[in-house]
Structure 1
């Protein structure tokens, strides 16, 4: 199992998060403000340079209006 943040699964998660943000009609800066983080945090998350833990995924789902469990189910299908 690759431990690098550039794994295919990490890239897929990053792409799904970008899609969810856009679907929620949020800019990176808007999401950052709602999360209480810098825009660079969102940029690193969306580029796959930063791993997302379960608690962060739940909070992202709450803010952007997606079901984190469903996102994990989609990711787990290969």
Structure 2
């Protein structure tokens, strides 16, 4: 298994999170507040410097307002590196 931090799937996940946040009309600070985290946490996730585990993905989904199955479906369509 390759490293996931710079993988195509990781890139797709961070792109998905940014896309959904922007579609929801939310700033990083607003998402961070809902997550009870600092804005810098959201920035590091969106910038690709931090992995997101499944529990965090669920939290992002609740904070932003998307179905986490959408993210999984999109990532599953990408071949692993």
TM-score calculated relative to the size of structure 1: 0.92
Shift of 1:28: 0.6
* Equivalent-residue separation in structure 2 for 1:2 and 1:40 (angstroms): 27
Partner of 2:19: 19
Shift of 1:27: 0.4
Shift of 1:4: 4.3
- Alignment RMSD (CA, Å): 1.0
Aligned residue pair count? 78
Partner of 2:36: 36
* Equivalent-residue separation in structure 1 for 2:4 and 2:16 (angstroms): 18
Partner of 1:61: 61
What does the per-residue CA deviation read over 1:8-63, in whole Å, with 9 as the maximum and x for residues that have no partner?
11011000000011011110111111111111100110011111111111111111
* Equivalent-residue separation in structure 1 for 2:14 and 2:55 (angstroms): 16
Shift of 1:67: 0.6
List structure 1 runs of 4+ shifted beyond 4 angstroms.
Answer: none
Partner of 1:3: 3
